[in-house]
Amino acid sequence: MATWTWFHRFGSPPWVYGFAARWAPWFGGAAVLAMLVALYGGLVLAPPDYQQKDAFRIVYIHAPVATLSMAVYSTMAVAAAVGLIWRMKVAHAAASACAPIGAWFTVATLATGMLWGKPMWGAYWVWDPRLTSELVLLFLYLGYMGLRAGIDDPQKADKASAVLAVVGFVNVPIIRYSVNWWNSLHQPPTRLVGEADMDWSMVWPLLLMLLAFFLYFGWVLLIRLRAELLRRERNASWVREVVA
């Protein structure tokens, strides 16, 4: 089955270690380049918003990291499921490498959201459905990392945290829906500028920044994955060859 060989190669820690080493600089270079161009486009070229003035520019960080905070959770859950189903060590390593990255994206989303909320809503924190589900997402990440840290046997920790990631993944849409329902009782959700209202000169830096953050995630993930593989396979002969 020639089509499946690529999949099997991903099951081999030394191959993935080398793969990550080859690709990490490309991801990193592209991420930095795209980020610089998008920053110039967003901070200099794009006109100020007619209502929010220059304060809207935080969207160029806030929206991409918010997207990533959820995309990383999905990546983690998929990697965890692959690890559970095909018993792939590399997939478990990738899932565990995702968690701290996703947690930091979530923290960054909350922090930039709070900074944005102060001038726009007059308060650092409002119980908006999106803010609340983001906070719950942070708790999900913390629970995942806590469970991993709490179990001494690495293989047990892999499998138990993988079950948790999958359970959490099933739960995320329900949490999202329930939080929307909950808040609709108190106040209508605060609407930000709709995409259709945005000028193209404002939109392209946003899209480019989103791409940049995806590339950045890929870069950091590959670096963390290499470290994780070295740590896990520290008794394997290939690690001794690589390190020597």
Residues that bind another protein (CB under 8 A): 136, 139-140, 142-143, 146-147, 150-153, 155-156, 159-160, 163-164, 166-168, 170-171, 174-175, 177-179, 181-182, 185
Smaller CB distance to another protein: residue 36 or 142? Answer: 142
Smaller CB distance to another protein: residue 26 or 127? Answer: 127
Q: How far is the CB of 167 from another protein (least distance, A)?
A: 5
Strand ranges (DSSP E) for the chain?
none
DSSP letter assigned to residue 49: B
Q: How far is CA 169 from CA 61, 83, 161, 193, in A?
A: 25, 15, 12, 29
Q: How far is the CB of 44 from another protein (least distance, A)?
A: 40
Q: How far is the CB of 71 from another protein (least distance, A)?
A: 19
Q: How far is the CB of 118 from another protein (least distance, A)?
A: 26
Smaller CB distance to another protein: residue 22 or 186? Answer: 186
Smaller CB distance to another protein: residue 106 or 218? Answer: 106
Smaller CB distance to another protein: residue 120 or 130? Answer: 130
Q: How far is the CB of 96 from another protein (least distance, A)?
A: 15
Q: State the CB neighbour count (10 A cutoff) for residue 199.
A: 10
Q: Determine the Cα–Cα distance for residues 160 and 143; give it in Å rounded to an integer.
A: 12
Query: Could you tell me the two tokens for 36?
Result: 């610089």
DSSP letter assigned to residue 127: -
Output b/e per residue, 216-235; b: 16+ Cβ within 10 A: bbbbbbbbbbbebbeebbee
Q: 38, 86, 54, 51: which is closest to 194 by C-alpha? A: 51
Smaller CB distance to another protein: residue 147 or 211? Answer: 147
Q: How far is the CB of 179 from another protein (least distance, A)?
A: 7
Query: Could you tell me the two tokens for 173?
Result: 């849409």
Q: How far is CA 223 from CA 55, 108, 134, 201, 218, in A?
A: 34, 20, 26, 34, 9
